[in-house]
Every structure is written in structure tokens, then in C-alpha cells.
Amino acid sequence: MTAAGAEPPTVSLRPGAGIQAAVDRHPPGTRFRLEPGVHRLQSIVPKDRNRFEGAPGAVLSGARRLTAFVHRGSVWIARGQTQEGRVNAAEFCRSGFPRCARPEDLFIDDAPMLHVGSRSAVGPGRWFFDYDADEIVIGDDPTGRTVETSVTPRAFGGTASGVVIQSLTIEKYAAPIQAAAVDAEFGPGWTVRNTTLRLNHGVGVNAGNGSRILGNRILDNGHAGFSGSGTDFLIAGNEIARNGYAGVDFHWEGGGGKITESGGGGFIRGNCVHDNVGAGIWADIDVHRLVIEDNLVFGNADNGITYEISYDGVIRNNRVADNGQRGQGWFWGAQILISSARGVKVYGNDIDVPGGYGNAVTVVSQDRVPYTPAVGNEIFDNRVVIRNANARVGAVTDVDADNAVIAAGNRLYGNRYHLADLGERVWFWNDAEADWNAIRAQGQETGSVVHTGIPQKTPLTCPPMVQTDEVR
């Protein structure tokens, strides 16, 4: 036991050392320093107030290297592969990704290969896990290359409080879809900072009550970058990019990250969320009083920011552009979407709809009891550039006879628009398209202005990340 008031010990761990065994031997509050190199196949359940810090070059990997292959014709076979993690429902996989529900991945020189559904489908860039024969079959010559397969489902989890994880690379865990390599949901007050979470099959990090997810690079995960629930969490200053390689149907979920069932006090602030295969930032299912502010959200395949079947959100001071390229049409694929939600305030945002695809700010109300109709939402004091005359701003429902209710129960005002032509019918209100004069005749856009002429587009890049040693 550590004496009262004594500084907790620091334990140095080299690659190959058992991290969980070290945690078990030492008291709560112990600081563990992971030395440079790859710490493979480690899964850790911390004690209260444990700290895990990486020296430069320290990597936690859930993958095993494959070095012994049998060459047969056009394929190479690794035998004795008995790992098999939890399988999710295959109907959540997009066409062309037959095994996204399987958590095992294969990487060649850090690039994930496509997991195909049969041996006959194996070829360059494609592989197959024959679970019955305990064999991995690959279609690329492994000679002189680093070949790895993910094995361990989780890096960190458990119910300990006040855990800190910092300055590590955490990669290639066989986290199932909807599960995370770092799972802070059940341990209050975890902090994950200055860490790279990448190439994990499911989610990079899952936040819970009091979590602080700060200054991380959350990149190239299979399902989503982050997830979370609970209260009083902060997700701030992260780069969240290119998540979604596993092929999960992003209209179900996936991409940058999603918050669900949050009782309030959550902030998603100052992140750069870009080029995810799915939505950028998504609040869904009974989220209360979530604040989404000061983020740069661009180039995501689906909606930039979504607030769905939830309450009283604030979406403010974000820069949101070029999202929705793979949206499903109608009023989806928006830069900002309010979907069957109430009391959401959208203001102070800089919104840029690209030419050729995407919507601006849309309110969609559907029969999703008890959240319909979507009323009490306010869209005001935003700058909106619309480069696509087919884009939409406004409210819509597919519930019979509810159009007037949806239109009357939401407000547009004080916005600043840039259109190519005042005659463009980009607004949709009370079941009808409207141009600038028609939308104002319906009592909307009071105090708003329209400028004709489209400003030059500015390329978007993430600002430099600021790392911190503070727990905030």
C-alpha cells in the first residue's frame, strides 16, 4: 500500500512485459510508463487513478505479426489462426463488405485489406479468414512486408475511476462493431489525451461520465472514431478523420462519431472532423443538452452534424462544409441535420454547401414516437453559402398532415445567405419549395439577408493540434 500523502510509484514497462500483471501487483494511483516499441496483445483493466503514459515510439497493438506462410498458387496461407471475436449482424454491412461484422482485420504495411466472403474471392488487396480451417488466406506476396492480423478485442476498459491514458499509439485492436479499443463508458472520469487511436476495427474510444477526450488523433478506425454516453464529458481538440474503412452501413451509424443516451453536460468542442465514411458528428437517441461548438467539419460522406431523436441541443460556431456526398437524397446529406428532435438551436455557424451535392440546414420530422413532431428548433445568425441550386434549407415531414405543424413550430431568422440568384428555390417550408420572396411571405427569415454572387472557396485543412498536459 502507498502511504498517505506519498507520491505513487512509477513503473517502467518494456515491450513484452505483462501490463495487466503489473497493474495487479501495484496499488491504485500507480503510474505506468510504456517504453518505446510495440507492446502486443495487451488488454488492461486499470485500478483507480492509474496513469498509462507512452514514451516516444510506444505502441499498444492488438495485432499479431504473421511471418510463416505457405504459398499455394496465387495465394499465401497462414495456419494456426484460432482467434474469433464477437460477430455483429451482417445486415449492417454495406454492399461490397461481406465480412464487416467480423472484428478480425488484416494489415499489410499498416494498410487494412478487404475481408472477402470466400477463398475464391481472394486477390490483391483481399483476404479471407477460414475460421473452420484456422487459416488466413491472403492475395499479396508477404515477402519483405509487415503482415499483421488483429486478435485482441480491447486495449483498456473496466470500472476504475480517474484513469489517465496519454501519449500512446493504440492500434489494430479487434474491437467488434459498436465496441471500442479504449472503453471509458463504465469508468467515471477517464482522460485520454495526446494519443493516436487508429486502425481498430470498431470504435477508437468510447466516452462515459466525466470523460475527457483531449488532443488525440482518432484516425482510420473501421466503424467510427468515437462513441459515448453519460454526462459531463468533453471531447475537444481532436482530429477525427477517415474513420469507416470496415464498411458499416453509415446510414445505420458510423463515421466520425456518435453520442447516445446522454443526460446532459456534454461538449464536443474544437475538433477537426473530416473525410469520414459516414456522418461527422452525430447525436442520436435521447441526448439532452449536448453542445457542439467551434468544430471544423468537412468532407464527410453523410451529414456533417446530426441531432436526432433528442432534445435541447446547441450547435454553434462551427465551420461545416462539403459534407453529404453519399447522402441518400431528400433532405439527408445536410451540412447540419435536425432529425425528429426538439428544442435545438443552430447559430453562429459558417455553412458551405458544395456544388453538385449536399443540403444546407434541414429539419426532418418522422413518426418516431415520442419525438415527433420536430418542433421548437431555431436556425439563426448563420452564414450560409449555397453553391448548389438543388440544395435545401428548411423543414419537411413524411407524416400525413403535419407539414403546417412542422413549418409553424420551427424558426429561421437573422441568417446571411450567398446565392447565385435570388430566384433559386432553395427553401422548403409548409410542403412547398420557396424562393427568397416566398419564404419571407411565410413569416420566416425575418432579419435575414441574401447576397447574390458566390464567394471564392477556401481550401479546408485542420489547424495545428495543441497538446496539453492539463486535465481539463
For the chain, counts of helices (H) and of strands (E): 3, 46
pLDDT computed for residue 471 by the predictor: 39
Which residues does 62 contact at the CB level (< 8 Å), separation at least 6? Answer: 40, 41, 43, 150, 151, 152, 153, 154, 155, 171, 172, 173, 174, 175, 181, 200
In this structure, what DSSP letter does residue 97 have? -
pTM of the model: 0.96
**Which residue, chain included where needed, has cell 469508468?**
187
Nearest to 179 by CA among 160, 155, 197, 206: 206
Q: What is the distance in angstroms between the CA of the first residue and the CA of the last residue of the chain?
A: 29
Contact 327, 303 (CB under 8 A): yes
Residues shown for the chain: 472
Reading the block at residue 318, the C-alpha cell is 462551427
Reading the block at residue 221, the C-alpha cell is 478506425
Which residues does 346 contact at the CB level (< 8 Å), separation at least 6? Answer: 315, 316, 336, 338, 361, 377, 378, 379, 380, 382
pLDDT computed for residue 369 by the predictor: 75
Reading the block at residue 121, the C-alpha cell is 474471392
Which residues does 387 contact at the CB level (< 8 Å), separation at least 6? Answer: 352, 353, 354, 355, 420, 454, 457
Contact 179, 150 (CB under 8 A): no
Contact 243, 267 (CB under 8 A): no
Regions of the chain where pLDDT drops below 70: 1-6, 371, 467-472
User: What SS3 class is residue 60?
Assistant: strand
pLDDT computed for residue 469 by the predictor: 56
In this structure, what DSSP letter does residue 67 have? -
What phi, psi does 406 have (nearest 5°)? Answer: -65, -45
Measured distance CA(174)–CA(183) in Å, rounded:
13
pLDDT computed for residue 308 by the predictor: 96
Max alpha carbon distance in the chain (Å)? 76
Contact 265, 290 (CB under 8 A): no
Which residues does 261 contact at the CB level (< 8 Å), separation at least 6? Answer: 229, 285, 286, 287
